Structure formats: structure tokens, C-alpha cells
Structure 1
Amino acid sequence: MLSSSADTPGPPLHHPLDWGAHFLSYLALGYALGRATGRPALAWVLAAWWGAGDEIHQAFVPGREAGIGDWWFDLAGSGLGAWLAGRAGRKGRGERPD
């Protein structure tokens, strides 16, 4: 919903703060998907596709920008989140984390 609006709530975030927001929100998405699927690699791929789709979508929303840099931070955050979810899942099953 927020990516469809030219005016998002709160103060505007400029580079590099917007990249931090991308990283943190996709970290949460990657972690949630990782815990839900139990498969960190699948979680990362799903989050990567979601981020790419969102950036393409934003290219067509007046007042919004789409950028490869934003997507790179989506990838990094979701990758870390999915990896952390995988570690948490192994620890919860009593397996030794790597």
C-alpha cells in the first residue's frame, strides 16, 4: 500500500537513510519468510522477487523513484533475515548452529 502512494507517512528519508529503511524492512520480511517456510534459500528468493516487483511497480507511481540501489539493500536485508531465521530454526530443533 505504501509503495503505491507518492506521499508516505513520516518525514522523508533521503540517501542513505532510505537504504537503511529498505534493509531493515526486508530483514524482517526475510526472517518472517524464513521462519514460515523453514527454508532460508527459498525465503531469500521470494523476498528478492518481491523487492524487484516493488521497485518495478514504483517506477510507474507518480512521485516515486525506482532504483537498483534500493533493491540491493532489499537483497542484503532479506538475505540476512533469512539466514538468521535458518539459524534460529536449527537452534529451536536442538541442532548445532554452523
Structure 2
Amino acid sequence: MNRRPPQRRWWLPALVLLAVIWVLSSSPDTPGPPLVHPLDWLAHFLTYLALGFCLGRATGRPLTALVLAVWWGALDEVHQAFVPGREAGLADWVFDLLGAFVGVTLAGRRRALPDEEVPEP
């Protein structure tokens, strides 16, 4: 994972995602139709992919961004254990982790400019 300079403008979408995750987890009923496991896991994966991407851009530090996203996913699962009608799940957290990893990895990629030399791997 490449380290990038931090971009503070990415903190706003990251904080919005953190708040949305918390609010949805506080509700006994998730909006929309009930999700079967594969769709629920896809929702976890995509949400945490977005969070990992935003945190990766905001911090410029892939490991820090990954730890923050994974920590939030674990905290969210514990939080859900205390919400009536919700349950905590290890599988949900694993999909949070996988999504965050992909998001942080994507955030660390640099796009080469046409006249910029790209070093060979």
C-alpha cells in the first residue's frame, strides 16, 4: 500500500459515513426489505470499502486508515448486540474488514499523469 499525502477534504465524507453506519446500526429495523446474508454481506463490504477509501485519503496512512475502519466495524458489531432486534455477527465484521482493506488499497493508488514517469515494479 502506497502512502499518500493526507487530504483533509476527505474527513467530511468519512465522518458522514461513520455517522450513517452508527445511525443505521442503532435502528432495530434497517430501511428497505430484509436482506439475505449474501446481500447483507455485500452491503457491509461496499460500505466499508467507501469508509476505507475515505479514511485512506483523509489520513494518507494506509495502516492507520485500515485500523480505524476495522475498529469502527468491530465497535459497530458490539453496539448492535445491545440494540433490540439486531444481532452482532463475526461474518459481518469480516466483510467490513475485507471492504475496508480494498478501499484503503484503492485510496493508496496514484494515477500517473501523461508526462510523469512511472517506476517499474
Q: TM-score, normalised by structure 2?
A: 0.73
Which deviations, in whole Å up to 9, do the C-alpha atoms of 1:52-95 show, x marking residues without a partner? 000000001010010000000000000000010011xx337968
CA distance in 1, matches of 2:96, 2:74: 9
CA distance in 2, matches of 1:37, 1:11: 35
Correspondence for 1:4: 26
Secondary structure of 2:111's counterpart equals helix
Root-mean-square deviation over aligned CA pairs? 1.8
Q: Map of 1:1-98 to 2, 5 A cutoff?
A: 1-87=23-109, 90-91=110-111, 96=118
CA distance in 2, matches of 1:64, 1:32: 27
CA distance in 2, matches of 1:38, 1:96: 20
Which deviations, in whole Å up to 9, do the C-alpha atoms of 1:39-60 show, x marking residues without a partner? 1111110000000000000001
Greater C-alpha Rg: 2
% identical equivalent positions:
71
CA distance in 1, matches of 2:72, 2:80: 12
CA distance in 1, matches of 2:28, 2:117: 46
Whichever residue aligns with residue 111 of structure 2, its letter is K
CA distance in 2, matches of 1:64, 1:52: 15
CA distance in 2, matches of 1:84, 1:54: 23
> For the Cα contact (< 8 Å) 2:25–2:76, is it kept in 1?
yes
Relative distance call for 1:92 and 1:64 in structure 2 (3 A) is: farther
